[in-house]
Amino acid sequence: MICKNCGKEVPDTEQYCPECSAPLIEPVVISKAAAEKSLEKKKEDAEILGPAFDFSGYINRLAGTPAAVLSLLGALLVYLAPFFRWIYISGNEFYEKANLFDVGKNAEKAGKDILALGQAEIGRIAVFILVTAVAMLVFSAYRDIRSLKDNKLMPFIAFVPVIALVILLVLALRNDRFYSAIRQLSAQAKGSPDLKGGLGIGFYMYIGGGVCYLAACVLSLMEYLKNKG
């Protein structure tokens, strides 16, 4: 090639002229018009694809679809369940309780009114319950999430958190100390008219949330199969 600056002949493999050091390869310059055109195309593509999450569409579904309301309610109940009491005992002059995180604490680190059992496994299960609740929330809104709404398996995948909830509950109740505490507190409450105890509201929130979400999944699946047919 010929150097445009000094006119010397230079090998094709060179990037700079060995005589005058001028660059032999001209930089690619994108014109302002080309840059604006590229930006315009990106905006058009974004409008065609739609937002990553259609918030207004989700709100509209909540207003007009029972399945959307049930799935949201179920996810919220399950998420809050570990923070409410799962076991308790109360009498005329005392009241002790424990949520799932409290059950995982050691007695010396808990308050005097906390039924701490020192079962770290239960604390870990509580964390997995929170993760499952978040998955429930995401799956309940999959029709409004751009990356999920066209997935034909989503009506079936949405049932996965239900299976996870069952497994986590079984694992919690298989903890000998936790299960024994439930039975002991229930027996004490039944044996005395002045005592109340056993499973607390957190357990029933968990069950209720799971049932609501399961009902929502069934309704969504029925609607999907109806539209497909």
CB within 8 Å of 98: residues ≥ 6 apart = 85, 86, 87, 88, 110, 114, 115, 116, 117
Q: How many C-beta neighbours within 10 Å does residue 220 have? A: 23
User: Which one-letter DSSP state was computed for residue 142?
Assistant: G
- Strands of the chain (E only): list them: 87-90, 95-98, 196-199
Tokens of 43: 């905006």
pLDDT at residue number 5: 78
Q: What SS3 state is found at 29?
A: coil
- 139-186 pLDDT per residue, tens: 988 888 888 888 889 889 999 999 999 999 999 999 999 999 999 999
Query: Which pTM value belongs to this model?
Result: 0.74
Nearest to 117 by CA among 208, 23, 209, 184: 184
User: Which one-letter DSSP state was computed for residue 99?
Assistant: -
Q: Which residue numbers in the chain have pLDDT < 50? A: 46-47
Nearest to 75 by CA among 161, 198, 202, 7: 161
pLDDT at residue number 33: 64
Domain boundaries, the chain: 55-228
Contact present, 98 and 212 (Cβ < 8 Å): no
Instruction: Give the DSSP H or E segment for 11.
Output: none
Tokens of 220: 């969504």
Chain-centre distance for alpha carbon 197: 32
pLDDT at residue number 46: 47
The C-alpha angle 154, 158, 164, rounded to 5 degrees, equals 145
Is the torsion defined by CA of 70, 71, 74, 75 positive or negative? negative
Which one-letter amino acid corresponds to residue 17?
A: C
95-98 sheet: strands from edge to edge: 95-98, 87-90, 196-199
Whole-angstrom Cα distance, residue 60 to residue 170? Answer: 36
pLDDT at residue number 201: 95
Whole-angstrom Cα distance, residue 189 to residue 46? Answer: 61
Q: What SS3 state is found at 15?
A: coil
pLDDT at residue number 162: 96
User: Which one-letter DSSP state was computed for residue 107?
Assistant: G
